[in-house]
Amino acid sequence: MAELEGKRALITGAATGLGRAIAELFVERGASVYLTDINEEGVAETAKELGAAGSSRCDVASASDQEAQFAAAQEAFDGGLNLVVNNAGIEIASILVEQSEEDFDRMMDINIKGVWLGMKYATPHLIANGGGTIVNMSSVAGVGGAPLLGSYCASKAAVIQLTRVAAFELRAHNIRINAVCPAFIDTAMVDRLVAPVEALTGLPFEDLTAMKQGRRGTPAEVAEMTAFLASDDASWTTGSHYVLDNALTAGLL
Amino acid sequence: MGQLDNKVAIVTGAGQGIGKACAEALAAEGAIVVVSDINGDAAAAVSSSLGSGSSFVADASSEADVEALVKHAVDTHGKLDIAVANAGIAHAAPLVAQSLADFRKVTAINLDGVFLVTRFAGPAIAEGGGGTIVNISSITAQAALPLTGSYAAAKAAVVSLTQTAAIELRDAGVRVNAVCPGFIDTQLVQDRKADFEALGLPMPFDDLIAAKQGRYGTAEEVGKLVVFLAGPRSTFSSGTAYVLDGGARASVL
């Protein structure tokens, strides 16, 4: 079933992890994809494996890189960009009040400004193409706090707010914008959290996540949620953040 | 090939409106649907148009009826995989000007009815190896609307039941989610337009809807989200209330 037939998607942070999984599923469902990442070689490799329309290096915190990636995608697609996944993001685990100013700023530059720039520079293309859909990668850390992830939590909450306002403002242009909020997913990013969280809390990370969310989610599951929001099946969903956490945030303990 | 081939589903309040659209959407993906409604003729008419499954007369607020509905599904179709707790009513009146009996009429169906589906369908779904429950809540669960106090309170409670059920049933392989639609073009909404306008709105009700949520949503759009949550593409979603509102909740204005 090719439910994303006719979709031409740009996906950021697509060399590995969630971005790659989203690209894989989009291609499987019939979309054309253009992939970007700060890791130029890595994303070129992924693009080749998936048969993408193209790929390029993009530092999402750079306005000129953002502008260039959309121009490049339009050229690769021969026009018609109608789907954008602002997925690129970083985490820097640190006690909030001990985090360096440089790390805090870098987090906000990539995770917040990167999403804002993605919407800003995608919008003229989407409007020119008659509308489209944007999916922004937030996190359950955007709806709840988590130790060692203070600046990350703040950045992901900001993504939800940017999503709301842009969705409302751009609705009349036939642009839908939503956010996805995954819990702990089986990625390298989460692997990197295990040791520091265990050291701080004294609790076994895997047991804790198993109690809270049953198991780690998979990148493919995040891709499915992203694909649903990107599809015409979600034609009346905009300005929302869709949590994907196997009941993590539903519970108190 | 559908996403829900060979799955057996029950939908309460499926004689009209959102319930009917959910039954149709589930059947379109291959599910065998038990169309349940307090209005037997309406249920039978929807069921015969689906061409498979069966219909069953049930008062969603009756413990005996809902127990019998679940038993009917298992006895007739061999198992139960999906339950959509949709049946609902509204009684438009200010909180300070309604009888306890009227208040309880609403909560009996909109809240007790969801509890009863969880109570009886939960174990039946678990018995068959797991599946999903989707509860129809509303954006009134998150923000108030004058004249709908009893309705909104019940819908907020439905989100809470969804959270608890999701955690309690997770190990049994039963995922439980809620859907919170904005204003859908259903009889339930149309019948009350005059009541809302009598409150002294700044503009006609339909214009206010257009300003807040772009347009009325359709029951079919709710059906698509219900299929996503009922099926194999949302395996890491549980305990969450998914808003579907054209951006209504995205802005405080």
Instruction: Give the Cα-Cα-Cα angle B94, B97, B99 (nearest 5 degrees).
Output: 115
The CA-to-CA distance between both ends of chain A, in Å, stands at: 40
Question: How far apart are the C-alpha atoms of A219 and A25, rounded to whole Å?
Answer: 10
The residue whose two tokens read 């069966």 is B54
User: For chain B, which residues lie within 8 Å of any Cβ of chain A, measuring from their own Cβ?
Assistant: 1, 162-164, 166-167, 170-171, 175, 182, 214, 217-218, 221, 224-225, 227-228, 233-240, 242-251
Are the beta carbons of B230 and B23 closer than 8 angstroms? no
Contacts of residues B166-169 at CB distance under 8 Å and 24 or more positions apart, as own/partner, are: B166/A247, B166/A250, B166/B238, B166/B239, B166/B240, B167/A247, B167/A250, B167/A251, B167/B239, B169/B122, B169/B126, B169/B133
Write down the pLDDT at residue A82.
97
Positions in chain B whose pLDDT score sits under 50: none
**Mean predicted confidence (pLDDT) in A225-238:** 98
Of B120, B151, B183, B196, the catalytic one is: B151
Write down the pLDDT at residue B200.
86
Q: For A59-68, A195-204, B164-173, which range has the lowest pLDDT when averaged over its residues?
A: A195-204
pLDDT tier at A193 (50, 70, 90 boundaries)? very high
Residue A170, classed as helix, strand or coil, is helix
Amino acid at A54: G
The percentage of chain B sitting over the pLDDT mark of 70, rounded to a whole number, equals 100
CA neighbor of A87 nearest in space, from A69, A74, A68: A69
User: What pTM does this model have?
Assistant: 0.96
Distance of CA B68 to the CA centre of its chain: 19
The first and second tokens of residue A209, run together, are 């996540």
Instruction: Kindly tell me if the per-residue pLDDT of A1 is higher than 70.
Output: no
List Cβ neighbours of A215 (8 Å cut-off, separation of 6 or more).
A209, A246
The first and second tokens of residue B215, run together, are 């347009």
Query: Pick from B1, B233, B238: which is nearest to A247 by CB?
Result: B238
Write down the pLDDT at residue A54.
98
Write down the pLDDT at residue B137.
98
Write down the pLDDT at residue A201.
86
State the SS3 of A65-127.
Answer: HHHHHHHHHHHHHCCCCCEEEECCCCCCCECHHHCCHHHHHHHHHHHHHHHHHHHHHHHHHHH
Question: How far apart are the C-alpha atoms of B155 and B161, rounded to whole Å?
Answer: 10
Element holding A237 (H helix, E strand): none
- Check residue A195 and give left, alpha or beta (phi > 0: left; psi -120 to 50: alpha): alpha
Element holding A156 (H helix, E strand): helix A150-170
Chain A residue with the nearest C-alpha to that of B224: A233
Instruction: Kindly tell me if the per-residue pLDDT of A35 is higher than 80.
Output: yes
Q: Compute the residue count for chain B.
A: 253
Check A236 against B246: CB less than 8 A apart: yes
Check A1 against B1: CB less than 8 A apart: yes
- Residue pLDDT, tens place only, A171-185: 999 999 999 999 999
Instruction: Give the Cα-Cα-Cα angle A57, A63, A67 (nearest 5 degrees).
Output: 65
**Mean predicted confidence (pLDDT) in A72-84:** 97
Q: What string of DSSP letters covers B141-169?
A: GTS--TT-HHHHHHHHHHHHHHHHHHHHH
